[in-house]
Structure 1
């Protein structure tokens, strides 16, 4: 968090942004967490002693994730000669690396939640934008040698993840928002450093931290 604070110290403040900065510096800005089931699945996949059957038992603790994996294993991109009907088969066809990225993707949707209608609309818009970017990333990676489409899709989904805590802060402190433009200004200033902090908090690879930090830098 220290490197994030050093970046935001240089940001010119307004009233709402000032409160966001204070919350971040005092570790009171709520960073989103990935659902426990996703963490358990990722831990099982990264266990060198685990096999597909053991990993499948963990995955099947969440019927929705299981159904989504089977559905994707049967899509044209992965489909083989016969239809997949079980979780172990889906893991075999997809590969554990791809399955891990997909499972994280499914879990991310739960992060984009708010209490108030106005902020939930912004969350929905952000999710749709992130999904659109993720789809473009996956297609480009699929057509470009040396790139992993599933990893590219996940990168697209998290590129604006730093906006979520700012929206959550606004959701919990609507009284501080005199002008909606203040929220937009705070998002513009904090999305990068907060996104990088989330990637560290989630223990994602360092390049994902860079993606969240530099996503809006078109000249990088």
Structure 2
């Protein structure tokens, strides 16, 4: 690792340890959505009122409910009907995840491009998570989707730091090194600060631990397999790993040598899931 990457990593870890790193805050609409969903006295109408204040988010929720994965015979055009079809928890997790897209924007072109890249990869992995969860586990697809959308959230403060330090921005190799090494650690900190439930809050720091083995299948396993599947057919180093040693495949009952894209039904489902998040 370059001296620059080493220096930046030390500075960021020090800032994390001393609680000096400014963690991003959850978008206002996501906070209000979660608050409403957790209120036992709130209903579909209340949640529709909160989401309805954000036209873009409203359109996204309606797009999701009409996607090939979830649609019924009748097209849904009304937000309240969409929430009623998805359920309050599902809508809340989906709205929280989708609202995060507004955080992946920067003032400099280089950082903005990198943020778009991270967000696009996150939606791709979240789509695969949704399908893996529905077909191979009894976990909640909305939680799996949210886990996929937030697994790289730790990249945000690193890119914000890079925006203020031109020498790091000019050295993309060092920047990528820093991101790879510490985004998992920062990601956990952010999700805990946002009071995400533990099964999702621990995803960033553990999804790249390919030797990890838990007693039963969890969201970390799903994000891990989705990440590996997303690189199939590329030259990425993950494709060189021995996937048969990754216990997450066995826990999901998936053959590590099988390309999910080769299965027409799964491939169509993954395409639909990714499409509904974009």
The question of a shared fold, defined as TM-score above 0.5 by the shorter chain, is answered with yes
Of 157-166 and 167-176, more deviation after overlay is shown by: 167-176
**Structure 1's 176 and 81: CA in aligned 2 closer, same or farther, altered over 3 A?**
closer
Contact 1:16 1:177 in 2 (8 A): no
1:164 to 156, 160, 164: 156
Instruction: Give secondary structure in 2 for the equivalent of 1:14.
Output: helix
Shift of 1:115: 1.8
The answer as to 2:44 corresponding to 1:40 is no
1:73-95 Cα offsets, whole Å, 9 max, x none, are: 22232222322222111111011
Contact 1:17 1:185 in 2 (8 A): no
| TM-score, normalisation: structure 1 | 0.87
Shift of 1:110: 1.1
2:56 to 41, 59, 64: 64
**Structure 1's 179 and 69: CA in aligned 2 closer, same or farther, altered over 3 A?**
closer
1:122-159 Cα offsets, whole Å, 9 max, x none, are: 11111111111111111111212402222111111111
Shift of 1:17: 1.9
**Structure 1's 142 and 181: CA in aligned 2 closer, same or farther, altered over 3 A?**
same
Partner of 2:145: 153
User: 1:127, 1:55 → 2: CA distance?
Assistant: 26
User: 1:65, 1:147 → 2: CA distance?
Assistant: 25
| RMSD, matched Cα | 1.8
Q: Which runs of 5+ in 2 are unaligned?
A: 213-278
2:98 to 106, 111, 131: 106
The answer as to 2:59 corresponding to 1:55 is no
**Structure 1's 171 and 120: CA in aligned 2 closer, same or farther, altered over 3 A?**
same
1:142-191 Cα offsets, whole Å, 9 max, x none, are: 21240222211111111111111111111122245574332222222211
Instruction: Give secondary structure in 2 for the equivalent of 1:37.
Output: helix
Q: Which runs of 5+ in 1 are unaligned?
A: 1-12
Q: How many pairs does the alignment contain?
A: 208
User: 1:177, 1:93 → 2: CA distance?
Assistant: 45
**Structure 1's 95 and 219: CA in aligned 2 closer, same or farther, altered over 3 A?**
same
Partner of 2:209: 217
User: 2:85, 2:207 → 1: CA distance?
Assistant: 32
**Structure 1's 79 and 178: CA in aligned 2 closer, same or farther, altered over 3 A?**
closer
Instruction: Give secondary structure in 1 for the equivalent of 2:69.
Output: coil
2:116 to 124, 144, 161: 124
